[in-house]
Structure 1
Amino acid sequence: MKITGIEAIPFAIPYRKPLRFASGEVHAAEHVLVRVHTDDGVVGVAEAPPRPFTYGETQAGVAAVIEKIFAPQLVGLSLLERETMAARLARTVGNPAAKAAIDMAVWDALGRTLDVQVTELLGGYTDRMRVSHMLGFDEPAAMVAEAERMRAGHGITTFKVKVGRRPVALDTAVVRALRDGLGDDVELYVDGNRGWTAAESAVAMKEMADLGLLFAEELCPADDVLGRRWLVSQLDVPFIADESAVTPADVTREVLAGSATAVSVKTARTGFTRSQRVHHLAEGLGLEVVMGNQIDGQLGSVCTVAFGAAYRLTSRRAGELSNFLDMSDDLLTEPLDIRDGELAIRPGAGLGVDIDPAKLEHYRQDA
C-alpha cells in the first residue's frame, strides 16, 4: 500500500453557458485530474478545480505544485500515513485544491485496496443525499426557467441562488420571482460570494424576510469584522461561512466571533481528512452544515456525496451536487444520474468510478 507515484493531468471541458457570480465568471472547467499510484498496482483518482478568484490557485499552478513539490514528499509513504502526509503538505502554504485532490485520491486508493467504499471508511451513515442546484446570475425569468427544468428533469427542490450584485434590488427581485414561480414547496437560500457590504446585506435580507429563506451565505466580506458581526446578529436564518472558514481554526474564529452560525464543507478544498475535522468541530459546536460545491465536475461531485453521505449531520441538508450538469461533457465512464432529487454514492470499491481514457486524451491540456 505504498505510494509509488502521483500524476497531475490538466484538462478543460467547456460549460454549456458561462457561470457568473459575484466573485468571478467561468467558461470552462479547467481542472486537474490527480492519480495516486501504489506498489499494489492500485490507482486512486480525484479532481482539483482551481479557483483563482477565491483561493489564488490556477490550473498550471496546481499541476506544478503537485508534480514538483508534493509528489516527491509523499512517494514511499503508506496510504495509511495520512497524518504524515498532511504534515508534509502543510509545509507549503496555500494550494488547498491541490492538497485536497491528493488526499481524496489517497482515500480512493485505500478503498480500492481494501475493497471497501470510501463512504463506509468515513462513516457509512447513508448511501445518498438530496441535491441542491446552484443558480448563477441571470434575468429573473431565465433563472426561474432553469429551476423549473431542474425540478422537472431531476426532481430537485432545493436551490442556492447567487446574489451580490448592485443594485441589491436586482437580486431580491430574482429571489422573489423564484419563490413566486416555484411555490412554497421548494427550499431557497442565497450566496453573496462577499459581493455586498454589510449594510446592503441587511437591506436585502429585510426585503426578502417574507420569502422563507433557508440560509444566507457569505453575503459580505469576513474582513469587514464589525460589519459582518453586526449583520449576523440581526439575521433570523443561519449565516453560512464558506470561503472565510476553510480550516477548523477558521471555523472556530468565525463562530466564536459571532460572524457565522453555519459552515459549508467543500471536499474540493479540504479533502476527506481535513473535512472530517471541520465536520467534527461543527458537530461539537452545534452548527448547521451544508456540503458545498467548487463548481466540481462529476468526479468532484462523487467525492462530495461520498463524504456527505458518510455522516448524519452532513446528510441532513441537500448538498450542492449538480454543477456538473452545466458541463458539456465529463471524464467518467458512467455518468452520474440525479433521480428524484437525490444523488447516490457509486457502487464498488473506493469512489466507485473509472476515468474514460478516450475522453481524458481528448480534453487533456498537456498532450
Structure 2
Amino acid sequence: MQIEAVRAIPFSIPYKKPLRFASGQVDVADHVLVQVVTSDGVVGNAEAPPRPYTYGETQASIVAVVRDLFAPAVTGLSVLDRELARARMVRTVGNPTAKAAVDMAMWDAWGKTVGQPVHRLLGGFTDGLQVSHMVGFDDPDVMAAEAARIRAEFGITSFKVKVGRRPIHDDVAVCRALREELGPDVELYLDGNRGWTSSESADALRRLADVGLSRVEELCPADDVLGRRWLVERCDVPFVADESVPTPADVTRELLAGSATAISLKTARTGFSDSLRIAYLAEGIGAEVVIGNQIDGQVGSACALAFGAALRSTSRYAAELSNFLDMADDLLTEPLRIERGRMAVRPGAGIGFEVDEDKLRHYRDDR
C-alpha cells in the first residue's frame, strides 16, 4: 500500500451551455484528475476543480503544486498515512482542491486495496442521497423551464437558485417564476455567491418572504463582518456558509461569530479527511450540514456522494450532485445515474468508479 507516484492530469470538457453566477462563469470544465499509484499497482482517483475567483487555484497551479510539492511529500508513505500526508501538505498555504484530491485519491486507493467501498470505510450510514440541482443565471422563464425539465426527466424536487445580481428584482422575479412553475412542494433555496450587500440581501428576503425558501447561502461577503452578523440575526431560515469556510477553523469562526447557522460541505474543497472533521465539528456544535458541489464532474460528484451517504448528519438533505448534467461528456466508464430524484452509492471497492482511459486520452490537456 506504499505510494509510488502521484499524477496530476489536466483535462478539459466543454459545458453544453455556460454556467453563470455572481462570482463568475464556467464555460469549460478545465479540471485535474489526481491519481495515487501504489506499490501493488492500485490507482486511486479524484478530481480537482479549479475556481480562481473563489480559491485562487487554476488548472496549471493545481498541476504544478501536486507535481512539485505534494507528490514528493507523500511518495513513500502508506495510503493509510493520511494524517501524515495532511500534515505535510498543510505546510503549503491555500491550494484546497489540490490537497483534497490527493487525500481522496489516497482513500480510493485504500478502499480498492482492501476490497471495500470508501462509503463504508467512512461510516456507511445509507445507500444513497436525494439530489438537488443548481439553476444558473438566465431569464425567469428560461430558468423555470430548465427546472421543470430536470424535475420531469430525473425526478429532482430540490433546486438551488443562483442569485446575487443587481438590481435584485431580477432574481426576485426568477424565484417567483420558479415557484409558480414548480408548485409548493418543490424545495427552493438561494445561493448568492457573495453578490449582494447585507442590506440588499435583507431587502431580497423581505420580498421573497412568501415564496417559501428552505435556506439561503452566502448572500453577502463574510468579510462584511458586522453586516453579515446583522443579516443572519434577522434571517428566519438557515444561513449557510460556503466559500467562507474552506477549513475546519473557518467553520468554527463563522459559527461562533454568528455569521452562519449551517455549513455547505464540499469534498472537492476539504477531501474526506477534513470533511470528517467538519461534519463532526458541526454535529458537536449543533449546526446542520448540507453537501454542496464545486461544479464537479462525475468523478467529483461520485466522491461527494460517497461521503454524503456515509454519515447521518450529511445525508438528511438533498445533496448537490447533478452539475455534471450540464457537461458535454465525462470520464467514467459507467456514468452516474439519477433516478426518481435520488442517486445510489456506487457498488464496488474504493469510491466506486473507473476512469475511461480512452476518454481521458481524448480530453487531457498535456499531450
Distance 2:260 2:136 in 1: 23
1:317 match? 317
Partner of 1:330: 330
Aligned partners of 2:252, 2:36: CA distance in 1, in Å? 32
Identity of aligned residues (%): 67
Distance 1:262 1:229 in 2: 14
Instruction: Report the 3-state secondary structure (helix = DSSP H, G, I; strand = E; otherwise coil) of the residue aligned with 1:5.
Output: strand
State the TM-score, normalized to the length of structure 2.
Answer: 1.00
Q: How does 1:331-346 map to 2 (within 5 A)?
A: 331-346=331-346
1:251 correspondence with 2:251: yes
Q: Secondary structure at the match of 1:50?
A: coil
Following the alignment from structure 1 to structure 2, what is the Cα–Cα distance between the partners of residues 5 and 259?
A: 41
Q: CA deviation at 1:245?
A: 1.1
* Match runs of 1:222-241 below 5 Å: 222-241=222-241
Give the Cα separation in 2 of the matches to 1:37 and 1:172. 49
Counterpart of 2:197 in structure 1 is: 197
Deviation at 1:185, TM superposition (A): 1.0
1:163 aligns with 2:163: yes
State the shift of 1:241 in Å.
0.3
Equivalent positions of 1:80-99 (< 5 A) are 80-99=80-99
The CA deviation at 1:305 is 0.5
Report how far residue 325 of structure 1 moved.
Answer: 0.1
* Cα separation, 1, equivalents of 2:225 and 2:175: 27
Residue type of the partner of 1:266? K
Question: What is the TM-score when the length of structure 1 is the normalising length?
Answer: 1.00
> Which 5+ residue runs of structure 2 have no aligned equivalent?
none
In 2, the alpha carbon distance for the partners of 1:321 and 1:16 equals 17
The Cα offsets for residues 26-58 of structure 1, whole Å up to 9 and x where unpaired, read as: 100000001100001100000000000000000
Corresponding residue number in structure 1 for 2:109: 109
Report the AA paired with residue 93 of structure 1.
Answer: V
Q: Secondary structure at the match of 1:214?
A: strand
Instruction: Determine the C-alpha separation between the residues in 2 that align with 1:75 and 1:257.
Output: 39
> Deviations 1:279-335 (Å, cap 9, x if unpaired)?
000111111111000000000000000000001110000000000000000000001
Query: How far apart are the structure 1 equivalents of 2:365 and 2:126?
Result: 37
Deviations along 1:213-251, one digit per CA (max 9) or x if unpaired, are 011100000000000000000010000000101211111
Letter of the aligned partner of 2:32 in structure 1? Answer: V
Contact 2:33/2:46 (<8 A) preserved: yes
Tell me the secondary structure at the aligned position of residue 19 of structure 2.
strand
Task: Give, in whole Å, the separation in 1 of the partners of 2:356 and 2:179.
Answer: 40
SS of residue matched to 1:228:
helix
CA distance in 1, matches of 2:257, 2:70: 34
Aligned-residue offset at 1:345: 1.2
Are the aligned partners of 2:96 and 2:246 in contact in 1 as well (CA < 8 Å)? no
Could you list the per-position Cα deviations for residues 143-189 of structure 1 after superposition, in whole angstroms to 9, with x for gaps in the alignment?
01110111000000000000000000000110011011100110000
The 5-angstrom pairing of residues 1-367 of structure 1 reads: 1-367=1-367
Q: Which runs of 4+ in 1 moved over 3 A?
A: none
Letter in 1 for 2:321: L
- CA shift, 1:127, in A, is 1.1
C-alpha deviation, 1:272, in angstroms: 0.1
Task: Write the distance in 1 (CA, Å) between the matches of 2:123 and 2:218.
Answer: 29
CA distance in structure 2 between the partners assigned to 1:191 and 1:352 by the alignment? 30
How far apart are the structure 2 equivalents of 1:21 and 1:63? 26
Alpha-carbon displacement from aligned partner over 1:84-103 (angstroms, at most 9, x marks no partner)? 00100011000000000000
- Please give the secondary structure, in 1, of the residue aligned with 2:7: strand
Aligned residues: 367
Name the CA distance, whole Å, in 2 between partners of 1:348 and 1:67: 29
Q: Provide the secondary structure at the position in 1 that maps to 2:213.
A: coil
Q: What RMSD over aligned residues (CA atoms) do the two structures have, in Å?
A: 0.5
SS of the aligned residue for 1:311 comes to: coil
d(CA) in 2 for partners of 1:285 and 1:211? 30
1:363 Cα deviation after fit: 0.3
Structure 2 letter corresponding to 1:114: V
Structure-2 separation of matches of 1:83 and 1:361 = 33
* Structure 1, unpaired ranges of 5+: none
Amino acid at match of 1:124: G
Distance 2:200 2:245 in 1: 22
